[in-house]
Amino acid sequence: REGPGLSVTLAMAAGPPPPLGPPVLPAFGQEGFGDKFLRKTRENPLVPLGCLCTVGVLTYGLICFKKGNTRRSQLMMRARILAQGFTFAALLGGMVATALKSRE
């Protein structure tokens, strides 16, 4: 005598049991921090350049502030804002370029 329970039991016996743990995702090559940084720098070299400019201008502005040169310090803080804006624009441009490239 065949019923719904018997067909399920036969189907389960036909194949291997389902895994008990989490599903295994495909393994990609392990990419370290240095490798990822170099890859991302090659994809969009303007972002690290903008970050370096921002840090340089900020450092120089703080040095000028410590020495008492307030006029130069204010100028460097304004330049820092411009460098941050450049970095942000480069980041957005890189994201747009990557999105357009993935659509093709």
Mean pLDDT by 10 residues, the chain (104 residues): 55 66 66 86 90 96 96 97 96 91 80
CB of 41 closer than 8 Å to CB of 48: yes
For residue 21, report the phi and psi dihedrals to the nearest 5 degrees: -85, -175
Backbone angles phi, psi at 68, to 5 degrees: 95, 5
pLDDT of residue 35: 87
Residue 34's pLDDT is what? 87
Residue 34 Cα distances to 40, 53, 97, angstroms? 10, 21, 23
pLDDT of residue 14: 65
Check residue 47 and give its pLDDT: 92
